[in-house]
């Protein structure tokens, strides 16, 4: 594909998987984050998305022509410091748009989240344009940026593409999300440890394998703009699960994972998110279907831990 891509927040849950896939497809990738790292298979620079000057320098120095903007504070961690979360998530969005506009970069990928929905949405099967009153500052910041994204696309100012990610299942430990239990439970099973779950056993949420999330995102970035039928993010998901169902799925491969429950504030967050989302428009527009169902996801990630 031969794009020159800058990734912000590259040390988060998504970064390294996007980096590997983008490089495999022939792109150059510059990873950036606020902390240093030698663990990634690409060039790396320290970059705080508040720093417009540094962003501008990096884009020029590395001749960047696309940005994947992942810098964000997630849902559960966000509740600890709402002002910081609002600031980072929104400043990150707007600063990257500004830096891109200044350097005539016309394509950004920016992930939104199922956190934009709220109890006034149809949580049994959330369509793309439900009424939305998010109950977390993370969800509110994502929704605010979704509105800005709509504006920039509608006005043809810059091409921003986005998916509302559900819980992402990978072998990289997430930090501060409400769906983190899916990954933590796999690590407990692999290490033969009991697991204490912070959500109730029957709390259903949409999930997907990281590879499906990466593939769909890169496909969305690759298709002709005329095939994108909306100015705001698409819903996306692969399967729905709950802590007890996920345990049963894991144990169907011979593990003996036991869980007990110590429900905390994250239950209220999960209760305000959809159990299932309608992602039919994405599947049609980019001609995509997930490769991994629930069992295949669990088995594949367990094998890699
Ligand atoms: N996985 C995220 C979280 O739990 C949702 O986008 O915060």
At 252 the pLDDT is 98
Residues 6+ apart with CB under 8 A from 45: 30, 31, 32, 58
CA-closest candidate to residue 39, choices 58, 54, 17:
17
The model's pTM: 0.97
Give residue limits of the domains in the chain. 4-166+209-217, 168-206+238-304
| Ligand 1 centre distance from Cα of residue 269 (Å) | 10
Ligand 1 atom nearest the C-alpha of 138 is 7
At 76 the pLDDT is 96
Pocket test for ligand 1, best of 139, 178, 273 (most atoms within 8 A of CB): 178
What percentage of the chain has pLDDT greater than the value 70?
100
Active centre residues (catalytic)? 138
At 99 the pLDDT is 98
Ligand 1, atom 6, residue with closest C-alpha: 113
At 38 the pLDDT is 83
Pocket test for ligand 1, best of 117, 143, 174, 182 (most atoms within 8 A of CB): 174
At 179 the pLDDT is 96
Architecture of domain 168-206+238-304: Alpha-Beta Complex (3.90)
At 39 the pLDDT is 84
| Ligand 1 centre distance from Cα of residue 74 (Å) | 6
Residue 166 CA to residue 278 CA, distance in Å, equals 12
* Structure confidence by residue, pLDDT tens digits, 75-84: 999 999 999 9
At 173 the pLDDT is 86
| Ligand 1 centre distance from Cα of residue 57 (Å) | 31
CATH fold for domain 4-166+209-217? Rossmann fold (3.40.50)
Ligand 1, atom 1, residue with closest C-alpha: 167
| Ligand 1 centre distance from Cα of residue 71 (Å) | 13
Length of the chain: 305
Strands 239-241 and 205-209, bridge-based pairing: antiparallel
Residues of the chain with pLDDT under 50: none
At 174 the pLDDT is 77
């Amino acid at each position: 594909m031969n794009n020159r891509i800058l990734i912000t927040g590259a040390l988060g849950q998504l970064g390294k998987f996007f980096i590997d896939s983008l490089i495999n497809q022939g792109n150059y990738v510059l990873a950036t984050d606020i902390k240093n790292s030698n663990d990634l298979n690409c060039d790396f620079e320290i970059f705080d998305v508040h720093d417009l000057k540094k962003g501008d320098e990096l884009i020029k120095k590395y001749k960047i022509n696309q940005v994947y903007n992942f810098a964000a504070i997630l849902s559960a961690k966000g509740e600890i410091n709402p002002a910081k979360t609002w600031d980072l998530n929104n400043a990150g969005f707007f600063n990257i748009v500004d830096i891109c506009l200044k350097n005539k970069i016309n394509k950004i990928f920016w992930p939104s989240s199922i956190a934009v929905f709220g109890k006034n949405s149809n949580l049994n099967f959330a369509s793309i344009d439900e009424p939305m009153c998010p109950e977390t500052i993370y969800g509110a910041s994502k929704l605010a940026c979704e509105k800005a994204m709509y504006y920039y696309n509608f006005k043809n100012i810059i091409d921003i593409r986005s998916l509302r990610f559900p819980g992402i299942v990978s072998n990289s430990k997430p930090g501060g999300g409400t769906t983190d239990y899916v990954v933590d439970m796999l690590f407990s099973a692999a290490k033969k440890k009991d697991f204490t779950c912070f959500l109730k056993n029957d709390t259903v949420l949409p999930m997907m394998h990281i590879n499906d999330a990466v593939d769909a995102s890169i496909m969305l970035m690759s298709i002709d703009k005329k095939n994108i039928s909306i100015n705001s993010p698409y819903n996306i998901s692969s399967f729905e699960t709950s802590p007890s169902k996920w345990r049963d799925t894991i144990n169907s491969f011979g593990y003996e994972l036991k869980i007990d429950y110590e429900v905390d504030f994250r239950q209220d967050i999960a209760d305000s998110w959809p159990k299932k989302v309608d992602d039919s428009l994405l599947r049609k527009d980019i001609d995509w279907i997930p490769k991994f169902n629930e069992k295949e996801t669990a088995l594949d990630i367990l094998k890699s831990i």
